[in-house]
Structure 1
Amino acid sequence: MLVSGYRLRLRRLVPAAVMAVLAVLSVTSAVPASAAAGTTLVGVASARCLDVVGNVREPKTAVNIYDCNGQGNQAWTFTSTGELRVYDDALCLDVVGQDTTAPAGVQIYTCTGGANQRWTLKSDGSIVGVQSGLCLDVTGQNTANSSPVGMWTCNGQDNQKWRTSAGNVDTQPPTVPGSPRVSDLVCDSVTFAWNASTDNVGVAFYDVYHDGQLVKTVSGTTLSTSFPVVAGAAWGLFVNARDAAGNVSQASTTVPITPPHCQADTQPPTAPTRLVGSASGTTVTLSWTAATDNVGVRAYDIYRNDTKVGTVTGTPSVPPATSFIDSGLAANTAYRYFVVARDAQVNVSARSGTATVTTGASCANPVCAVTQVGTDTDLPWGLVTLPDGSILYSRRDADDIVHLNPTTGTKTVVGTVPNVSGTDGEGGLMGLAIASTFASDHWLYIMHTSANDNRIVRIKLENDRLDTATQQILLSGILRNKYHDGGRLRFGPDGKLYASTGDAQNGDNAQNKTSLNGKVLRLNPDGSVPSDNPFGNYVWSYGHRNPQGLAFDSHGRLWQQEFGDGRMDETNLITKGGNYGWPACEGTANGTGSCGTTGFLAPKRTYPTADGSCSGIAIVRDVLYVACQRGTRLYRQVISGDSLPTAEVYFNGTYGRLRTVEPALDGGLWLTTSNVGDKDSTPNNSNEKILHVALG
């Protein structure tokens, strides 16, 4: 096995740190004084070392197993970027031809930084290629000297497990990094520092994030680092510690920053011109001619009858669109519009001219009317429709569940869920679900974060109260962290409960089929494992980063919505046992190609993160609706076969960040916002809306 005795030399460890690590992790067998620095990787099945054939130091030399001899061709160094280097760090272990399908060859090659030269050392002893998700494998389970080594589908057998002579598996994560702080904050960079974590073996890496997106990875002896920032952008910085076995600490506290602009800009944009509008039923479409600015127009705000009802935004390199769709309006009603332009420093233009548009006599559009049915001071997260048409929703940071009558607006707190704990990020009281048997069994299914894990429980709802004495813990041990906790629940037409789980800020979890994280899970209503699950455990699909949306279409197929890291969010069509690629690829791209390459399933649609960060999804009459936060919009997409050929945008900026969308009994949608307090665990610091959307 890959063990706590991994004496892996990080490339820039100071001598004192090296001595401290070696004191704990020294191997028990004698090593010649002339041996190269690094560690041996010993095959569990063969007791022989990973070895460069013939002790040759040339690129493209193959790798095999051979009797351990302490020479430099058996001394491997695991670097902070996940490389396995040999010959005093001169060459890297490399997958031949960047092949991602089994079988694939391995060799030593000049270090390039490519994904085919990055490896994950797993706590079960396997060594997994980051690009392929395949395991380092002694071919044919052979154990003799000179048996070749290559890549093969991970199967948990001993010919895919490696150890040092020190012995035991390391499953203990490091402690939380302390006292995160910033210095030297300027318009385009910042220095971020923290106090060291501790670990039973040793901290190998620190992973630095902003708002759940990985910024940088540094070695386990590095306690500060500088990196680029975006002027004027509000970020929350935090750091996790990680050991060589892949165990990840809980995140540090968050340090908020807002970098200043590089130069003061006091000149507003010019006013947009030539504003025109047209009505189709109860939907109005507006367009205008772009404003100009000395630096650049960053956004347009749209006003209806002097109230802001939407925003279209751009980036430093891409200007905002010059059109807007206003939906869900009253029939036979005149509306007056104007538009203003903003730059990055919030200088606002004068108003455009006014356009007055009168809606039609009836709704001839997909989206007809929006009615606010409730508000809340906390974040509505999970939501279910009860058989009588009323709804239950969870309040993420307040740990309780509310029953809302949308006709009268009457709200009743039905109870507080026991043992809920926030994460100062995305965790807390999350998904809700009821089965088709709810009218008789009264079970409410709940996913939430506890102090130690994420878990799925069920509690009976009796006489409009949670009977907490009936609580049953159906599944526990799902790793938690500040971000990437997943959290959505959905019953399928097969009567099984499906749950989305995040990778707990450790992409290795997503490819580990024995882990509950980075997955879509499937369980029986009583919490047992269905007999037809693909891997004999709860895992239904894997290779996910932070999925939060689940919905079934009329054919019984499961669709899923997933947060990307920094490039693309994705909508997936989930298949039994499918691998969706994270962390080797995001959306449809990695360093070399597509998540649709052999072994990975490509998403059915992707969205730039600026237009996405989508959480909940719902399907009504085989139309997919996607609620987006950073994108502040609702996407509408007609399912055509197994594809999503077009995406219409509604409510672009009208209600802000949209979290949850669910079908209503009347054929419409429930829609909730997530605008304030979205990245903390402070209860009742929000101002959110619960909306009903009538569909045409």
Structure 2
Amino acid sequence: MFALTTRGRPWPRALAAFVAALASVAATIVVSSTPASAATSPVVGVASGRCLTVAGNSTTPGARVTIYDCNGQASQTWTSTTAGELRVYSSPRCLDVVGQDTTPPATLQISTCTGAASQKWRINSDGSIVGVQSGMCLDVSGGRTTNNTPVQLWTCNGQSNQKWTTSTGSADTQPPTVPGNPRVSGLVCDSVTFAWSASTDNVGVAFYDVYHDGQLMKSVSGTTLSTTLTVVPGSTWGLYVNARDAAGNVSQASATVTITPPQCQSDTQAPTAPSQLTGSASGTTVTLRWTAATDNVGVRAYLVYRGGTLVGTVTGNPPATTFIDSGLSANTSYQYYVVARDAQSNVSSRSNTATVTTGGGCAGSVCGVTQIATETDLPWGLLTLPDGTILYSRRDVHDIIHLDPATGAKTNIGTVPNVDDTDGEGGLMGLAIAPTFASDHWLYMMHTTSTDNRIVRIKLENDRLTLSSEQILLTGILRNKYHNGGRLRFGPDGKLYASTGDAQNGDNAQNLNGLNGKVLRLNPDGTVPSDNPFGTYVWSYGHRNPQGLAFDSQGRLWEQEFGNSIMDETNLITKGGNYGWPACEGTTGTCGTAGYIAPKRTYPVAEGSCSGIAIVSDVIYIACERATRLYRVPISGSSLPSAQVFFNGTYGRLRTVEPAPDGGLWLTTSTQGDKDGIPNNGNEKIFHVTLGS
């Protein structure tokens, strides 16, 4: 029987990603102009033990499909073709969807074989049979097991009435080659034509998936080599394309083409000045408020200045008219003003000046921010050693730095072998040490290679990596340009937890035989813990690109996850839990499906794109990149009812946040070079944040 799980989902998720086949995946859908027959076999329902049958043994197009006692008749004998069809009868009819319906429940019938998308099927190694057009699963209506029960298409849910046994099908585990020569033409304010050269595949390319910066834009057929995309004026995007075969194997991404569309019309009129700026202090935290500016097109940001220095950027459409400035000096007067900016960077005159005097001591949540280091590369993973000093990984340089936060002194402890970049978000990522580090000296890390993502450990002795001690604990985590996950965290149970992305193939997240789109749990020596829920490394699944892991005082694991274009989410991870991707993003999609676990809090992507999390005194701190902010989210029971925003634009994109030994936080930026593999092209900072009550 099968062990993989695949979820169907509504547009656009259905085209967002398909199953990435590992060695155990069996898939049958192949694009071919001349279908060739494969094996012929009955298709037997796991729950009922009855066979997929054409009702009444009819050969007439439009006849419905049911389950019935297996009897070996022609109406129960199905042939899988290399075109992805399921054919029945010697004068063949194809399994088809009435009206090409893509919403559940969709009725099934037999039809004259035409090669239509509604006649394409994918037989997965978990026993599900998925309609390529709809992404939904072959389902016995109502979960019934009696003769003549209709078979339909329904949202994939992993239940036994959606499982089938059959000897049809053939394995295809080879992904297409990388699409070549990506290029653009016809760039105007709101559209661009994106083209590429064809990939090759051992069977055939079925789809091309077009992305910008890790977000899916469009999927097109395998015969399409250019497409028109809708773009946003003035926004800088990196476009690339992946090839996907009908078995769900996904290529590595093409090279990136950077575009910045012009504005649709010239706008030289600046916004009016914000007015009625006021400020109030609570201890060493200042809260500013003002009346909105107006603009002939629209205000897109407010720039907040303290003493003539830019300290915050409030964005949105329209942006908020408040700002919190934290970690100031006690008993000190500060002068603020605000200006408004539109989409074409026209800037208003200044608001009035507000003078605010802080109190005698910190009375808020954030009491001080101190820069402890600068860095030319991306600090990705970061941890505190038992002596209070810091180790951090440099993602694109592939080495590890030992930093003394008291003095700012740095020591390069060595380069990790076999690390490769992905021209996106891969490289040297998460770091962790076990509670036993003082005696065993093992440093754990997750990194990309030329073929996969993996978890390794190397001894740290005499402030150097002892490379001869390297042990490779886990390999075969699929890589791609984006969606590599990468965070490591030891739990209070002494196990190592790792977050993995879906490798730009959403159905990987539902593949219980695969390692992608998961939270994994390992013994420190890399073996599978005996109490893991599926007898594998998988602890939870249905994740898109998780990059934040942290444990609270009760030993519960919290996770932070990037959404595609709608919602980011914070999840409370449970053993064996399914968090719904790709059918569900945040609370959108088919999130009400039985078995999906809802996030504890969501954030619009424009106000999120958050990477690392830390928990201090049962408060979650979330570092966000696109939103350029730090969220403070107190845990209340198993809920996250409220969130405060700090450093809104003050320090730019924030990547990693970790507990500091004094009860504060370490915080790193990710402002430059975070979407390529070029070493030392950044201008990053590492901070210590002093926390209050």
Residue 106 of structure 2 corresponds to residue 91 of structure 1:
no
Aligned to 2:37: 27
Q: Please give the alpha-carbon distance, in whole angstroms, between the structure 1 residues aligned to 2:337 and 2:346.
A: 17
Q: Kindly tell me: are residues 122 and 217 of structure 1, through their superposed partners in 2, closer, same or farther at Cα, counting changes over 3 Å?
A: farther
Deviation at 1:126, TM superposition (A): 3.5
Q: Does the 8 Å contact 1:133/1:511 carry over to 2?
A: no
Aligned AA (1:676):
Q
Displacement of 1:353 after TM fit?
1.2
1:271 Cα deviation from its structure 2 partner: 0.9
Q: Does the 8 A contact of 2:334 with 2:356 survive in 1?
A: yes
Is residue 2:279 matched to residue 1:283? no
Please report how far the alpha carbon of residue 75 of structure 1 lies from its aligned counterpart in structure 2 after TM superposition: 9.1
Give the Cα–Cα distance (whole angstroms) in 1 for the partners of residues 220 and 50 of structure 2. 32
Q: Aligned runs of 1:69-108 on 2, under 5 Å?
A: 91-92=99-100, 96-97=104-105, 107=108
Contact persistence 2:502–2:516 (CA under 8 A): yes
Q: Where do residues 103-118 of structure 1 align in structure 2 (5 Å cutoff)?
A: 107=108
Deviation digits for residues 427-486 of structure 1, max 9, x if unmatched? 000000001000111100000000000000000000110111100000000000000000
Measured in 1, the distance between the counterparts of 2:641 and 2:157 equals 33
**Greater RCO (Cα-Cα under 8 Å, separation 6 or more):** 2
Aligned residues: 650
Counterpart CA distance in 1 for 2:622 and 2:151 is 45
Q: Does 1:667 align with 2:663?
A: yes
| Aligned partners of 2:37 and 2:82 also within 8 Å | no
Give 1:103-182 correspondences, 5 Å limit: 107=108, 121-122=123-124, 126-128=128-130, 136=138, 149=151, 154=158, 160-162=164-166, 164=168, 168-182=170-184
Contact between 2:38 and 2:81, CA under 8 Å: does it hold in 1?
Answer: no
The corresponding residue for 2:528 is: 529
The verdict on how the C-alpha distance between 1:660 and 1:198 changes in structure 2, with shifts beyond 3 A counting, is: same
| Distance (whole Å) between structure 2 residues aligned to residue 466 and residue 354 of structure 1 | 54
Change (3 A) 1:86 1:313: farther
Residue-by-residue CA offset, 1:69-126 (whole Å, 9 max, x unaligned): 69999999769xxxxx96787634767548xxxxxxx64599xxxxx99976536664
Distance 1:179 1:96, change over 3 A: closer
Q: Residue 408 of structure 1 aligns with which residue?
A: 407
Preserved CA contact (<8 Å) 1:232 1:344: yes
Aligned to 1:292: 294
Contact 2:28 2:122 in 1 (8 A): no
Matched residue SS, 1:18: coil
SS in structure 2 of the partner of residue 631 of structure 1: coil
Aligned-partner residue type, residue 499 of structure 1: A
Question: Is the contact between residue 392 and residue 401 of structure 1 (CA under 8 Å) also seen in structure 2?
Answer: yes
Equivalent in the alignment of 1:602:
598
Distance 1:259 1:59 in 2: 52
Quote the Cα distance in structure 1 between the aligned partners of 2:78 and 2:279. Answer: 73
Shift of 1:191: 1.0
Determine if the alignment matches structure 1 residue 187 to structure 2 residue 209: no
Indicate which of 212, 216, 219 corresponds to 2:218: 216
**Mapping of 1:397-436 within 5 angstroms?**
397-436=396-435
Quickly say closer, same or farther: Cα 1:88–1:646, change in 2 above 3 A.
closer
Secondary structure in 2 matching 1:420: coil
SS of structure 2 residue aligned to 1:440: helix
Distance 2:136 2:423 in 1: 35
User: Aligned to 1:612, which of 601, 608, 615?
Assistant: 608
Pairing 1:258-657 to 2, within 5 Å after superposition: 258-314=260-316, 318-590=317-589, 593=590, 595-657=591-653
Partners of 1:50 and 1:521 in 2: how far apart? Answer: 40
Q: 1:292 to 1:224 in 2, by over 3 A?
A: same
Instruction: For 1:146 and 1:77, locate their aligned partners in 2 and report how far apart those are by CA, in whole Å.
Output: 29
Q: Which residue of 2 aligns with 1:18?
A: 33
Preserved contact between residue 482 and residue 503 of structure 2 (Cα < 8 Å) = yes
Within the alignment, does 1:202 sit opposite 2:204 as a pair?
yes
The one-letter code matched in structure 2 to 1:216 is: K
Amino acid at match of 1:467: T
Q: 1:243 to 1:156 in 2, by over 3 A?
A: farther
1:249-301 alpha-carbon deviations (Å, 9 max, x no partner): 10101111111111011111111111111110000000111111111000000
Deviation at residue 403 of structure 1 after TM alignment = 0.4
1:121–1:246: 8 Å Cα contact kept in structure 2?
Answer: no
> Match for 2:297: what amino acid?
V
How high is the TM-score relative to the length of structure 2?
A: 0.87
State the Cα RMSD in Å. 3.5
2:54/2:110 contact within 8 Å kept: no
Partner of 1:427, secondary structure, is coil
Question: Counterpart of 2:434 in structure 1: which amino acid?
Answer: A
Tell me the alpha carbon deviations over residues 19-41 of structure 1, each in whole angstroms, 9 at most, x when there is no partner. 4xx4xxx22689xxxxxxxxx99
In the alignment, what sits opposite 1:36?
A: none
Rounded to whole Å, the distance in 1 between the matches of 2:121 and 2:490 is 37
CA distances 1:646-666 after superposition (whole Å, capped 9, x unpaired): 000000000000000000000
Query: In structure 2, how many angstroms separate the alpha carbons of the residues matched to 1:4 and 1:525?
Result: 32
In the TM superposition, residue 129 of structure 1 has moved relative to its aligned partner by 7.4
Q: TM-score, normalised by structure 1?
A: 0.86
Alignment-mate amino acid for residue 616 of structure 2? V
* 1:349-389, Cα deviation, whole Å (9 max, x unpaired): 11111111111100011110000000100000000000111
618-627 or 116-125, which moves further after superposition?
A: 116-125
Between 537-546 and 178-187, the greater mean CA deviation after superposition: 178-187
Contact 2:84 2:120 in 1 (8 A): no
Give yes or no for contact 2:506–2:582 (8 Å, CA) kept in 1: yes
Task: Tell whether the 8 Å contact from 1:75 to 1:87 is kept in structure 2 after alignment.
Answer: no
1:180 maps to amino acid: P
Is residue 55–residue 148 contact of structure 2 (8 Å, CA) maintained in 1? Answer: no
Decide whether the 8 Å contact of 1:48 with 1:145 is kept in 2.
no
Q: Which amino acid aligns with 1:18?
A: S
